[in-house]
Structure 1
Amino acid sequence: MNSRIETLTGKKLIGKHITMSFVENKTFQLWGSFMPERKKIRNPIDSNLYSLEVFPEGYFNNFNPKNTFEKWAAVEVSDLNEIPAGMESLLVPDGLYAVFIHKGPSTEAEKSYRFIFTEWLPDSKYFVDDRPHFAVMTENYKKDDVDSEEEIWIPVKNKV
């Protein structure tokens, strides 16, 4: 799996979030709530969808799949002047990210994440940083299609 390192310019997002854990995955419930209402967002930058995880500080230092975090379904917007009822804003700060392309059905994304966290990251010159993790679903995202693609953005900082 190829990767690239990018310096992200901060993003403004509007969407919905839910508290969950990897054991109690509520992703389907979150997206089921967000998708019918996303057209209420008046100022999207593009048609991309963002699936984000906001982990508590140090979440990966002592990983436990039962520990909770915020899961977001959102779109990037030009400004935060109008936030529809029932939605919230999220600012993703500037920073360094390792970017990967997951190819294949979304049900197999776990294989890509496993590679990133158990092979790529330990062999890299980076640590996971305490900023939002996210996946970008562009026009190449086709959910359960074998030709589907999504970008996985992992916040990193140099080990040195």
Structure 2
Amino acid sequence: MKPRITPLVEKKLIGCKQNMNYATYNPVLLWQSFMPLEKEITNRVSTDLFSVQQFPEGFWNHFNPETAFEKWVAVEVSDFENIPANMNSLVIPGGWYAVFDYKGDGSDAASFFESIFSSWIPNSAYVVDDRPHFEILGNNYKKGDPNSEEEIWIPIRLK
């Protein structure tokens, strides 16, 4: 498991959000509410989909699966001038990210994330930063397909 350490320029997103936690994590309804409305977003900069987690400050210092966070399904936009009804805007601030390439059908995603937080982060020169975490579902993403590919972006800063 070797991520790319990459600077991120601020991103503007438009999408749908919902509060959830990891104890009862189920983003299916959020995706189902977003996908029919996706075509209403007129100022997209790419076809990529973003799956974003906005955690409260210190979430990863004292992890508790019952702690609520905001889950977003969104797309990147050039500006916030035309936000469709029933959608919201989110700014992902710039900063450093560890970017992990994930390939698979999602069945082992939980263990992949667990390895990032229980092994890679503690053994790296970094700590998790208090900025949004996200996955980019690009052209090679195919839900449920063992050859599906996505990028996992974890915000970091030096220890």
TM-score, structure 1 normalization: 0.97
Q: Deviations over 1:61-80 (max 9, x none)?
A: 11100110000000000111
The residue aligned with 1:121 is: 121
Could you tell me which runs of 5 or more consecutive residues in structure 2 were left unpaired when the two chains were aligned: none
The residue aligned with 1:76 is: 76
1:2 CA displacement: 2.5
Q: Number of paired residues?
A: 159
Verify: 1:156 aligned to 2:149, yes or no: no
Verify: 1:93 aligned to 2:93, yes or no: yes
Other structure's SS at 1:107 match: coil
2:27 corresponds to which letter in structure 1?
A: T
1:106 CA displacement: 2.1
In 2: Cα distance, 1:106 partner to 1:143 partner: 8
Could you tell me which runs of 5 or more consecutive residues in structure 1 were left unpaired when the two chains were aligned: none
Report the identity percentage.
51
Identify which range, 23-32 or 81-90, moves more after superposition.
23-32
The residue aligned with 1:13 is: 13
The residue aligned with 2:67 is: 67
In 1: Cα distance, 2:111 partner to 2:105 partner: 11
The residue aligned with 2:30 is: 30
1:95 CA displacement: 0.3
Other structure's SS at 1:106 match: coil
In 1: Cα distance, 2:107 partner to 2:21 partner: 17
Other structure's SS at 1:151 match: strand
2:42 corresponds to which letter in structure 1?
A: R
Q: Deviations over 1:106-155 (max 9, x none)?
A: 23211210111111101000000000000000011011111001000000
- In terms of fraction of residues, the more helix-rich structure is 1
In 2: Cα distance, 1:100 partner to 1:43 partner: 28
